[in-house]
């Protein structure tokens, strides 16, 4: 009642891994030293390992949006024709980047809550042989939808175009076979499934992308990835690195390596399933027709503003979850599953949700949504023969 713990449960920043937070206190090292070079090399190697790629992986002091800009600026030239799959606010960000950098964009739009079908991408690739890149979100955080990156990537692989993937909430929540599927540039961020605060982003870059970059004419300085690569080989960053965040990332990567990237993905997948079962048991509707594992977008009941639900999560219980963005604001609320989330977070959030709905006049049988999540747990984690009545 009187004590409400603040619990950060959004799709980014996500809940923080305690040992990663503690590691940040060791930031009193200088970045042009052997200590730092060892740390940096380890982070780059571990990132490459957990991303499951042989491609180069580079880290930038930037948010994910910076990494997306770097993905355009390093491999394209003014007027280049790019295909953008847009299914939400982050798809629209690619459109803004293309506009800012003078790229010619063909946009494949899915309505909010939907996803761009891979066959539409295949058709566009056939129609536009001049395409230099395809840009797409693996997971569209604003709607909770995911794209069929495998099929899109394999199609783009057959062409000269680069496959540029915003995997900022996709990494660690869905399988992404970077090398096999031909994902040339894949962007990730520290504050997502990597369980640490915002501050650094990273990119994997394929040989095909580096080759395209040789003739790319867009201007670049801070985000010059070739300069970063040259330094990274020696365990250095081109510019002053975010030391505390890198220390946290190193700890988080130890955790993720020990857990296994497949288990991290399976964890998000399980929590997404349990959450979908719980909210549908309460009679609520999912927003996405192609729901991914990073975040579940849920429609507010008719006549209820989702902002009220989000606000009451905070004011009644201290839980920080997210509203819809842009025109989806007020219509949906979003429960995240990426990174350091567990089934107990789910039990708690659903119990809170039931009370919030009841407090706002929506008929709820207490415990019904929680029971659906518990059944999802029991179905996989309680041995046969146990008495479940």
Any idea of the CA torsion for 311, 314, 317, 323, to the nearest 10 degrees? 60
89-100 helix and 64-73 helix, angle to the nearest 10 degrees? 40
Site for a second copy in 322-351 (CB under 8 A): 340-345, 347-348, 351
* Part of the chain binding a second copy (CB under 8 A), chosen from 1-9, 80-88, 115-123, 215-223: 1-9
Residues in 259-298 that interact with a second copy by CB under 8 A: 259-260, 263-264, 266-267, 270
For the CB of residue 311, give the shortest distance to a second copy in the complex, in Å.
Answer: 15
CB of 115 to a second copy, least distance (A): 26
Distances (CA, A) of 253 to 110, 118, 173, 187, 261: 34, 32, 15, 16, 10
236, 318, 320, 330: which one binds a second copy (CB under 8 A): 318
Among 73, 121, 319, 325, binds a second copy (CB under 8 A): 319
Tell me which stretch binds a second copy (CB under 8 A): 82-90, 126-134, 161-169, 369-377. Answer: 369-377
Nearest residue (CB) to a second copy, 73 versus 264: 264
- The answer for residues whose C-beta is within 8 angstroms of residue 134's C-beta and 6 or more apart is 82, 83, 84, 85, 121, 125, 152, 156, 161, 162, 163, 164
- Residues contacting a second copy: total by CB under 8 A: 60
- Give the shortest CB-5-to-a second copy separation in angstroms: 5
Shortest distance in whole angstroms from residue 370 CB to a second copy: 5
Q: C-beta of 336: minimal distance to a second copy in Å? A: 13
Handedness of CA 179, 184, 185, 187 (dihedral sign): negative
Q: Which element (helix H / strand E) includes 296?
A: strand 295-299
Residue 54: CB partners within 8 Å, gap ≥ 6?
48, 179
As measured in angstroms, the least distance from the Cβ of 103 to a second copy is 39
Q: Does 358 interact with a second copy (rule: CB under 8 A)?
A: yes
Considering the rule CB under 8 A, would residue 317 count as an interface residue with a second copy? Answer: yes
User: Measuring CA to CA, which residue among 99, 84, 70 is closest to residue 216?
Assistant: 70
Binding of residue 14 to a second copy (CB under 8 A): no
58-95: buried (b, 16+ CB within 10 Å) or exposed (e) per residue? bbbbbbbbbbbbbbbbbbbeeebbbbbbbbbbbbbbbb
* Binding stretches for a second copy (CB under 8 A): 1-7, 15, 18, 25, 259-260, 263-264, 266-267, 270, 316-319, 340-345, 347-348, 351-352, 354-355, 358-371, 373-375, 377-378, 380-383, 386-389
């Amino acid at each position: 009642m009187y004590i409400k713990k603040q619990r950060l449960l959004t799709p980014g920043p996500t809940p923080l891994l305690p040992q990663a937070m503690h590691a940040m206190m060791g930031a009193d090292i200088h970045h042009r030293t052997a200590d730092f070079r060892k740390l940096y090399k380890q982070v780059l190697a571990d990132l490459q390992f957990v991303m499951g790629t042989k491609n180069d992986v580079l880290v930038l002091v930037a948010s994910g949006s910076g990494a997306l800009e770097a993905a355009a600026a390093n491999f394209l030239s003014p007027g280049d024709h790019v295909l953008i799959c847009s299914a939400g606010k982050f798809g629209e960000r690619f459109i803004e980047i293309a506009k800012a950098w003078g790229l010619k964009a063909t946009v494949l739009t899915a309505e909010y809550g939907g996803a761009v079908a891979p066959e539409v991408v295949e058709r566009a690739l056939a129609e536009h042989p001049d395409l230099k890149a395809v840009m797409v979100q693996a997971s569209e955080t604003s709607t909770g939808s995911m794209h069929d990156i495998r099929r899109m990537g394999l199609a783009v692989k057959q062409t000269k175009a680069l496959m540029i993937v915003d995997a900022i909430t996709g990494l660690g929540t869905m399988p992404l076979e970077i090398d096999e599927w031909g994902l040339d540039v894949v962007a990730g961020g520290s504050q997502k499934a990597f369980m640490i605060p915002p501050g650094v982003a990273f990119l994997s870059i394929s040989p095909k992308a580096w080759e395209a970059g040789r003739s790319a004419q867009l201007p670049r300085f801070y985000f010059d990835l070739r300069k970063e690569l040259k330094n990274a080989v020696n365990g250095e960053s081109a510019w002053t690195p975010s030391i505390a965040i890198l220390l946290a990332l190193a700890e988080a990567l130890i955790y993720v390596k020990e857990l296994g990237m497949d288990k991290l993905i399976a964890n998000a997948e399980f929590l997404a399933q349990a959450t979908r079962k719980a909210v549908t048991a309460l009679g609520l509707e999912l927003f996405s027709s192609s729901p991914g594992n990073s975040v579940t977008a849920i429609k507010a009941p008719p006549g209820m503003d989702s902002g009220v639900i989000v606000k009451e999560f905070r004011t009644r219980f201290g839980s920080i979850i997210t509203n819809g963005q842009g025109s989806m604001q007020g219509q949906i609320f979003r429960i995240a599953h990426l990174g350091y989330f567990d089934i107990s977070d789910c039990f708690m959030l659903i119990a809170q949700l039931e009370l919030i709905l009841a407090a706002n006049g929506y008929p709820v049988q207490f415990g019904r949504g929680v029971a659906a999540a518990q059944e999802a747990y029991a179905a996989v984690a309680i041995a046969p023969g146990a008495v479940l009545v």
